[in-house]
Amino acid sequence: MSDSSVLSLSIEKLSYAYGNKAALTNVNLSIMPGECAILLGPNGAGKSTLFSLITHLYNSREGKIFIKGYDVKRQSCQALAKLGVVFQQTTLDMDLSVLQNLYYHASLQGMTRKQATYRIEEELDRQGMLARKNERVRQLNGGHRRRVEIARALLHKPSLLLLDEPTVGLDVPSRKGIVEHVHALCENDELSVLWATHLIDEIYPSDKLIVLHEGEIKAQGSVNDVCDGESTDDISKAFKHLTQDSSL
Fold classification of 3-82+158-242 is Rossmann fold (3.40.50)
| Rounded CA separation 142/80 (Å) | 27
pLDDT tens column, 177-188 = 889 989 999 998
Residues 63, 27 contacting (CB under 8 angstroms): yes
Q: What local confidence, expressed as pLDDT, does residue 218 receive? A: 95
Of 128 and 14, the structure prediction assigns the larger pLDDT to 14
Residue 245: the pLDDT is: 62
Residue 2: pLDDT band with limits 50, 70, 90: very low
**What pLDDT band is residue 248 in, cutting at 50, 70 and 90?**
very low
184 vs 88 pLDDT, higher one: 184
Q: Where are the domains of the chain?
A: 3-82+158-242, 93-157
CA distance 13 to 168: 30
pLDDT at 56 (0 to 100): 93
User: What would the mean pLDDT of 77-93 be, rounded to a whole number?
Assistant: 92
DSSP string, 127-167: TT-GGGTTSBGGGS-HHHHHHHHHHHHHTT--SEEEEESTT
SS3 84: strand
Would you state the pLDDT for residue 76?
Answer: 93
| Alpha-carbon dihedral sign for residues 68, 71, 77, 83 | positive
Q: In what order do the strands lie in the sheet with 70-71?
A: 21-31, 9-18, 62-67, 70-71
Q: Which of 217, 218, 237 is nearest to 227 (CA)?
A: 237
Tens of pLDDT, residue by residue over 119-175, are 999 999 988 899 999 999 999 998 899 999 999 999 999 999 999 988 888 888 888
Give the sheet arrangement for strand 160-164, strand by strand. Answer: 83-86, 160-164, 192-197, 36-40, 208-213, 216-222
Chain-centroid distance, C-alpha 176: 16
pTM above 0.85, yes or no: yes
Phi, psi of 177, deg, nearest 5: -65, -40
Looking at the predicted structure, is the pLDDT value of residue 113 above 50?
yes
The string over 148-171, giving b where at least 16 C-beta atoms fall within 10 Å of a residue's C-beta and e elsewhere, is bbbbbbbbbebbbbbbbbbbeebe
Q: What is the mean pLDDT of the chain?
A: 91
